[in-house]
A = this chain, B = another copy of it.
Amino acid sequence: MVDSDIISELDFLFHPKSIAVIGASRSFAKTGSMTLFSTIAGGFTGKIFPINPKESKIMGLDAYPNLSSISDDLDLAMICVPSSKVPGVIEECVDCGVKVSVIISSGFGEIGEDGKEKESEIVEIARRGKMRLVGPNCMGVGSADPSLYSSMNFTIPMPGNVSIVSQSGTITTLSALESSDKGVGISKYISSGNEADLHIEDFITYFADDPETKLILAFIEGLRDGRRFFEVAKEVTKKKPLIVLKGGKTKEGAGAASSHTGSLAGSYALFDAMSRQAGISHVSSLKEMTDLSKAFSLLSLPKGRKVAIVSAQGGLGVLMADACVKSGLELPDLSNETIEALNQFLPYFWSHRNPIDLTAGINDFGALSKTLEVVLKQPDIQSVICLAPSFSPMFSRVLPRMSGGMQKMFKSTGIGMMERMEKHFVSDFIKLKDKYQKPVIAIGLFSQSESESAKMLEDGGIPIYETPEQIASVISNLSTYREYLEA
């Protein structure tokens, strides 16, 4: 199901050689100026043409009074003028052979019937001229390959393999920047806004066929063509994961969606059921979306739902076990071989069951990696959740408040030694994960954002999360996707 038209058309959106920004000015408070600035700052490798009848230079670039005064071919136009002027500008774009226009301007379908008529009008002009439209009422486009970040929201993420389509500009920005901040880079993003012409499913179709995209994220307020969306989704999910977050779950949220991007939110229960059938990973919050995106990027799919939990922290093991079972995961019993092997080096009061609580009484911290290896060997354990061997974030909270002498003494304590050895543990963990080829997910005792060993762990393919609920949810979602692929 490759729609070759849409792919060649959208190539002009994601890989343009030239871009015009219509409505850029020297007043920096305008969306047009912001969009131009973002395009320049993002380092676009093609040509940039600011359009403004009153200026000759804007942000150091030559400005043009109109499109017809540009002699180059124009692939992409960003339209940032008041809504009343948009139809005229669209006419001009068509006349000058622009391939795709992104209409940032608001004041269309989202404000009611008048606006909807204006939308029909611009679509008609575009169709006549064989130009495609993104928006109106959207925030822009990003694409890592030509380093194109043309966005009124200043959204310049790190490059990577995740592509995003969102009916909300803010959600585009949040998911792109949050994701890249968490180490998962972005290949492309597009804010689809009111979707007068191009719909969310067109972008998903493009991403499905795009070799640079390994994973697709979509934020949906309402579908214009639900049947087509699920047909497209069903094909896409055979090739790569599609994570969807749906806004407008409640009457109030749906009302907000209608005045936001003029969409009809539809029945949430129906949407959820259809998503399941189409192999969509349907998440319930933006946070869950980012979490799952990291999991899909770093982990192989677990062979099934059977997990083991390895912790030196009893209370955390209890919460982790609760979260796993609530997410539909199973905790298999430890085999006699596993118990025997662990008895060899754990203190006699270790938990003797899954979750495996090494207990805080261990005085050989290498026991963490030894335990991980024993557990990975048990055949019916398909993924392992373990305490992250990254302790420094805890110390960074307490040590600065102590005297130099006490800080020095701390390094000699049992806990202080763990800090010194954590890089060693991290590399053991990564080697074991590679050797046994089962997903290993770590739980950090604190936010690990500042921790070097946490970064090592994730670079090595072991994602780290802050809460039991996050971990249980991602393993369950990965398992569901595998079950769908196998069915």
Q: How far is the CB of A415 from chain B (nearest CB, A)?
A: 5
Whether B107 contacts A256 by the Cβ 8 Å rule is no
CA distance A177 to B260 in the complex (A): 40
CB of A390 within 8 Å of the partner chain: no
A253: B residues at CB distance < 8 A: 318-319, 321-322, 325
> Nearest residue in B to A416 (C-beta to C-beta)?
B28
Residue A434, interface by CB 8 Å: no
Q: A48-56, A69-77, A122-130, A309-317: which one contacts chain B?
A: A309-317
Q: Mark A349-367, 1 if CB is under 8 A from B, else 0.
A: 1011101010111010000
Contact digits for A281-293, partner B, Cβ 8 Å, 1 yes 0 no: 0000111000000
Q: Which of B156, B347, B466 contacts A401 (CB 8 A)?
A: B156
Smallest CB-CB separation from A36: which chain B residue? B413
A 13-54 to B, binary, CB cutoff 8 A, 1 in contact else 0: 000000000000000111101100100110000000000000
Say yes or no for A171: interface residue by CB 8 A criterion: yes
A residues 168-192 touching B (CB-CB < 8 Å): 168-171, 173-174, 177-178, 180-181
With an 8 A cutoff between CB atoms, is A139 at the interface? Answer: yes
Q: CB distance A37 to B409 under 8 Å?
A: yes
Q: How far is the CA of A410 from the CA of B37 in the complex (A)?
A: 8
Of A40, A139, A154, A167, chain B has the most CB atoms within 10 Å of the CB of A154
**A447→B221 CA distance, assembly (Å):** 24
Of the listed residues A28, A259, A322, the one surrounded by the most CB atoms of chain B closer than 10 A to its CB is A322
CB <8 Å contact, B139 and A352: no
Q: Does A402 contact B (CB under 8 A)?
A: yes
A341 interface contact, C-beta 8 A: no
A410 touches B41 (CB 8 A): yes
The CA of A397 and the CA of B314, in the complex, are separated in Å by 37
**Contact partners of A402 in chain B: CB under 8 A:** 41
Asked whether any CB of chain B lies closer than 8 Å to the CB of A250, the reply is yes
Contact B413–A317 (Cβ < 8 Å):
no
Determine whether the beta carbon of B252 is less than 8 Å from that of A331.
Answer: yes
Q: A252-B331, A363-B29 are in contact. Are A415 and B321 (CB under 8 A)?
A: no
Q: Which residues of A contact B (CB under 8 A)?
A: 28-31, 33-34, 37, 40-41, 59, 106-107, 110-111, 115, 139, 152-156, 166-171, 173-174, 177-178, 180-181, 219, 221, 247-253, 255-257, 259-261, 285-287, 313-319, 321-326, 331, 347-349, 351-353, 355, 357, 359-361, 363, 394-395, 397-398, 401-402, 406, 409-410, 412-417, 445-447, 449, 466-469
Bound-state CA distance A355–B259 (Å) is: 10
CB of A310 to closest CB in B, whole Å: 12
Question: Which of B174, B252, B410 contacts A325 (CB under 8 A)?
Answer: B252
Contact at A30–B171, with CB atoms within 8 Å? no
Contacts of A359 in B (CB 8 A): 106
| A58 CA to B19 CA, complexed, in Å | 72
Q: Which of B41, B260, B319, B469 meets A315, CB within 8 Å?
A: B260
State whether B401 touches A313 (Cβ < 8 A).
Answer: no
Residue numbers in B under 8 Å from A414 (CB-CB): 28-31, 33-34
Q: Which residues of B contact A323 (CB under 8 A)?
A: 285
Of the candidates B251, B347, B355, B409, the one whose C-beta lies within 8 Å of that of A59 is: B409
Q: Is the CB of A325 within 8 A of B31?
A: no
With the chains together, A308 CA to B466 CA distance in Å?
30
Contacts of A286 in B (CB 8 A): 319, 467-468
Contacts of A177 in B (CB 8 A): 394, 397-398, 446
Q: Given that A154-B415, A314-B170, A446-B181 are known contacts, is A287 also in contact with B410, CB under 8 Å in the complex? A: no
Interface pair A324/B252, CB less than 8 Å apart: yes
Please give me the residue from chain B that is nearest to A156 by CB atom. Answer: B398
